[in-house]
């Protein structure tokens, strides 16, 4: 339960040393810079710190070109290490990299033009298809001295009504259907010029739409062939662009290095904006973990002797940022806590207390020892072979602890890939004797909830409020334990006493903040009514039984179904073997996900609600927080813990 103790950090130094000191602070990654401008705004001068405006362009180019890279992508994102010398050399290639960015921007514009061109060509092609039956140039449909000729289309239902109209019958008009497609008639219309205005209005009233091919001096077939040739040329041009982008993508690694180096510069410039800068000095403040103070002072003194560093305890009203620190066994479980909320600075980190419960809940819900053995074999191989990034690495390590617990609980349930292989280890039978399993789930849930009460009591005692631990936690513990003992023969009298003492404490002191005695007692009875929530909390742990039963039953069903496939001879054995593997992998995946989600839920809703105080703000130091690469002093010495 470790929230790192934070100290206030103050720095005063010369402007001439600012860049070197900033780089040192960034490499140490132990100081969070906060805004000091308001403290001495009247002393400030404009420093003119540049802002890098090309980062977005570079990031865009990396993502855009990356889509055309033919380099095989790893299963997991891995850390790429470079030496500090390599990172510094990246700036010398900046102009070349931004030339590539410019090329990518131009190629993207060309791509956009080609796509627009292809959309128009395909649209023109679709317009021409209904007129394939015409073997004359489409622009030859022209007016004569006595007639007006035009092409168009109309819905068949409207055409039938149009033909029945008296106005059409009384006019000199000729129509010819060229084609009928999807309930639409495509027509040639010839009308005497004296009747044109009347017919034109009549046709429009019935939804007739004119088409104009004045620019097409060939028949539809030839025009479509010309379009197909243009589309082929556009496709070829697209392939040329893709080939160019693929060639450019060979520079992605260098572009990523440059991006991260420029991003580090940009982070320093943003930190400078929080400084108080005078013509010759600068002043900065922030937060630093207590354990990092000595190293920070030593390194900064190496850079400049003209630097003043002061480290102090937080002042009243300060809210330090929160940094969690645990041993290597507990660290993977921090993600469960941070996935909920960071604890407040004066609270505690529940990771260590929560870890064994989380692992066991996961094991009870996944509940198949065979699946767990697969995880225990596969995850270390993934960690060693792919060397995933820290977040993924910690998640996989959390899964290892869950798998260890699953082996134990799977053996107790005697579930191995849906088979009951080792009955000598079995303690529970969730299918045939569910009641003992349910009772075990409720019992473990009770331990979980009581642990939450103990943590809450510890927090009150730590904060010097012992009476709050008695009134708010011990009272409930006495009541709940007493109620439990009341159903135990020979202990019911003790149980009654404990329950009455606990209930009395709740009624008398739950509303102790109220000055009115009757209001205080009413609040106490209201708090006592909260006993019902404890019952619902305990019942929530029945999901441990339900999820575990589901995994086992699905595994059994898979085995029975595949057993029938095996009866079909050698072909059935081959097909059944493949189905067996994929079906059990699916069952493992879906139930491992469910076990993780529901284990989190039990922590967040049932456990944390008893003591957790949120509101912490993440500690965000000025550091080499890179996106694509990790900078090390010697990349041959990098480790992957």
Please give the distance of CA 384 from its chain centroid, rounded to a whole number: 24
Q: Is residue 155 part of a domain?
A: yes
Q: Is residue 179 part of a domain?
A: yes
3-state secondary structure of 547: helix
CB contact at 8 A, 357 and 610: no
Q: Looking at residue 73, what is its pLDDT?
A: 77
- Looking at 212, 240, 268, the residue that finishes a domain is 212
Average pLDDT over residues 70-83: 79
The CATH number of residue 184's host domain is 3.30.70.2750
Residues 6+ away with beta carbon under 8 Å from 616: 3, 321, 322, 341, 342, 343, 344, 345, 347
Are residues 432 and 570 located together in one domain of the fold? yes
Q: Output the six-digit token pair for 230.
A: 């243009």
- Domain that includes residue 206, residue range: 142-212
Arithmetic mean of pLDDT over the chain:
90
Q: Is residue 81 part of a domain?
A: no
Are residues 335 and 203 located together in one domain of the fold? no
Angle between helices 542-566 and 531-540 (to 10 degrees): 20
Q: How far apart are CA 231 and CA 476, in angstroms?
A: 78
3-state secondary structure of 243: helix
CB contact at 8 A, 72 and 619: no
Q: How many CA atoms does the CB half-sphere of 513 hold within 13 Å?
A: 3
How many CB atoms lie under 10 A from the CB of residue 120?
A: 12
Give exposure, 493-510, as e/b (b: 16+ Cβ within 10 Å): eebeebbeebbebbbebb
CB contact at 8 A, 333 and 398: yes
Q: How far apart are CA 603 and CA 449, in angstroms?
A: 10
pLDDT of residue 22 exceeding 60: yes
Q: Output the six-digit token pair for 516.
A: 């009115």
Residues forming beta bridges with residue 180, ordered by sequence position: 185
Q: How far apart are CA 131 and CA 391, in angstroms?
A: 61
From the number of C-beta atoms within 10 Å of its C-beta (0-12, 13-18, 19+), residue 297 rates as middle
3-state secondary structure of 174: strand
Q: Looking at residue 524, what is its pLDDT?
A: 75
How many CB atoms lie under 10 A from the CB of residue 548?
A: 27
Are residues 207 and 335 located together in one domain of the fold? no
What are the tens digits of pLDDT across the range 335-387? Answer: 999 999 999 998 999 999 999 999 999 999 999 999 999 999 999 999 998 88
pLDDT of residue 273 exceeding 50: yes
CA-derived radius of gyration, the chain? 38
- Looking at 212, 239, 270, the residue that finishes a domain is 212
What are the tens digits of pLDDT across the range 136-162? Answer: 999 999 899 999 999 999 999 999 888
Model confidence at 640, in pLDDT bands (50, 70, 90)?
A: very low
pLDDT of residue 641 exceeding 50: no
Q: How far apart are CA 152 and CA 135, in angstroms?
A: 17
Which conformational region is residue 464 in: left (phi greater than 0), alpha (psi within -120 to 50 degrees), or beta?
left
- Looking at 188, 212, 236, the residue that finishes a domain is 212
Are residues 206 and 344 located together in one domain of the fold? no
Residue 452's H or E segment, with its range, is helix 434-462
Looking at per-residue confidence, does 91 or 528 come out higher? 91
Q: Is residue 569 part of a domain?
A: yes
Average pLDDT over residues 586-608: 95
Q: Is residue 89 part of a domain?
A: no
The domain tally of the chain equals: 2
Average pLDDT over residues 595-614: 94
Q: Is residue 544 part of a domain?
A: yes
Model confidence at 639, in pLDDT bands (50, 70, 90)?
A: very low
Are residues 206 and 338 located together in one domain of the fold? no
Q: Looking at residue 506, what is its pLDDT?
A: 82
pLDDT of residue 437 exceeding 90: yes
From the number of C-beta atoms within 10 Å of its C-beta (0-12, 13-18, 19+), residue 552 rates as buried
Q: Is residue 291 part of a domain?
A: no
Q: How far apart are CA 487 and CA 207, in angstroms?
A: 84
pLDDT of residue 636 exceeding 80: no
Q: How far apart are CA 53 and CA 58, in angstroms?
A: 10
Q: Looking at residue 40, what is its pLDDT?
A: 63
pLDDT of residue 423 exceeding 90: no
Average pLDDT over residues 111-118: 95
Q: Is residue 196 part of a domain?
A: yes
**Which of 152, 151, 148, 150 lies closest to 192, judged by CA?**
148
CB contact at 8 A, 129 and 220: yes
Q: How far apart are CA 16 and CA 18, in angstroms?
A: 6
CB contact at 8 A, 136 and 245: no
Which of 313-322, 340-349, 396-405, 491-500 shows the lowest mean pLDDT across its residues? 491-500
Residues forming beta bridges with residue 187, ordered by sequence position: 152, 177
Residue 128's H or E segment, with its range, is helix 94-128
From the number of C-beta atoms within 10 Å of its C-beta (0-12, 13-18, 19+), residue 206 rates as middle
Residue 190's H or E segment, with its range, is strand 184-192
Q: How far apart are CA 602 and CA 594, in angstroms?
A: 12
């Amino acid at each position: 339960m470790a929230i790192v103790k934070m100290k206030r950090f103050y720095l005063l130094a010369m402007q001439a040393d600012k860049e070197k000191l900033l780089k040192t602070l960034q490499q140490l990654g132990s100081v969070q810079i906060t805004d000091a401008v308001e403290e001495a705004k009247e002393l400030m001068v404009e420093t003119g710190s540049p802002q890098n405006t090309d980062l977005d362009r570079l990031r865009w180019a990396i993502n855009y070109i990356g889509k055309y890279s033919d380099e095989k992508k790893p299963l997991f994102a891995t850390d790429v290490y470079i030496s500090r010398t390599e990172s510094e050399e990246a700036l010398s290639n900046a102009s070349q990299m931004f030339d590539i960015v410019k090329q990518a921007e131009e190629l993207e514009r060309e791509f956009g033009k080609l796509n627009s061109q292809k959309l128009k060509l395909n649209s023109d092609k679709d317009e021409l298809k209904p007129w394939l039956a015409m073997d004359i140039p489409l622009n030859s449909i022209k007016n004569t001295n006595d007639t007006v000729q035009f092409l168009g289309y109309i819905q068949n239902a409207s055409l039938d009504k149009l033909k029945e109209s008296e106005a059409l019958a009384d006019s000199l008009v000729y129509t010819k259907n060229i084609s009928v497609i999807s309930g639409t008639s495509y027509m040639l219309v010839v009308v005497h010029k004296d009747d044109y205005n009347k017919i034109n209005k009549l046709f429009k009233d019935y939804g007739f739409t004119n088409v104009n091919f004045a620019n097409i001096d060939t028949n539809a077939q030839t025009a479509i062939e010309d379009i197909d040739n243009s589309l082929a040329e556009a496709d070829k041009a697209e392939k040329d662009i893709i080939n160019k982008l693929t060639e450019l993508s060979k520079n992605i690694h260098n572009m990523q290095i440059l991006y991260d180096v420029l991003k580090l510069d940009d982070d320093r410039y943003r930190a400078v904006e929080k400084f108080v800068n005078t013509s010759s000095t600068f002043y900065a403040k922030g937060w630093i973990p207590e354990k990092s103070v000595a190293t920070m002072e030593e390194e900064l003194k190496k850079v400049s002797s003209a630097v003043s560093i002061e480290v102090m305890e937080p002042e009243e009203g300060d809210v330090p940022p929160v940094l969690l620190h645990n041993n290597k066994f507990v660290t993977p479980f921090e993600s469960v806590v941070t996935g909920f909320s960071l604890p407040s600075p004066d609270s505690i980190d529940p990771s260590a207390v929560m870890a064994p419960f989380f692992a066991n809940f996961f094991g009870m819900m996944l509940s198949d020892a065979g699946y767990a053995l697969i995880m225990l074999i596969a995850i270390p191989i993934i960690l060693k072979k792919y060397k995933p990034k820290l977040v993924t690495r910690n998640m996989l390590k959390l899964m290892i602890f869950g798998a260890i617990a699953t082996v134990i609980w799977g053996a107790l349930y005697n579930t191995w890939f849906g088979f009951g292989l080792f009955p000598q280890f079995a303690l529970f039978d969730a299918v045939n004797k569910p009641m003992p399993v349910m009772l075990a789930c409720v019992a473990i849930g009770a331990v979980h909830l009581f642990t939450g009460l103990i943590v809450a009591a510890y927090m009150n005692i730590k904060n010097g409020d012992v009476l709050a631990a008695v009134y708010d936690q011990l009272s409930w513990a006495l009541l709940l334990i007493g109620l439990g003992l009341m159903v135990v023969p020979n202990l019911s009298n003790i149980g009654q006493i404990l329950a009455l003492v606990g209930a009395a404490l709740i009624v008398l002191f739950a509303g102790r903040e109220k000055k009115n005695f009757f209001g205080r007692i009413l609040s106490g009875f209201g708090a006592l009514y909260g006993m019902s929530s404890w019952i619902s909390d305990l019942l929530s742990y029945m999901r441990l039984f339900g999820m575990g039963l589901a995994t086992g039953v699905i595994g059994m069903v898979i085995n029975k179904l595949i057993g029938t496939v095996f009866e079909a001879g050698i072909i059935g054995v081959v097909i059944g073997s493949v189905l067996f593997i994929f079906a059990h992998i699916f069952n493992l995946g879906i139930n491992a996900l469910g076990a993780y989600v529901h284990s989190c839920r039990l922590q967040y809703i049932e456990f944390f609600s008893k003591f957790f105080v949120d509101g912490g703000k993440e500690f965000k130091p000025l550091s080499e927080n890179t996106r694509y690469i990790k900078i090390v002093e010697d990349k041959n010495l990098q480790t992957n813990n």
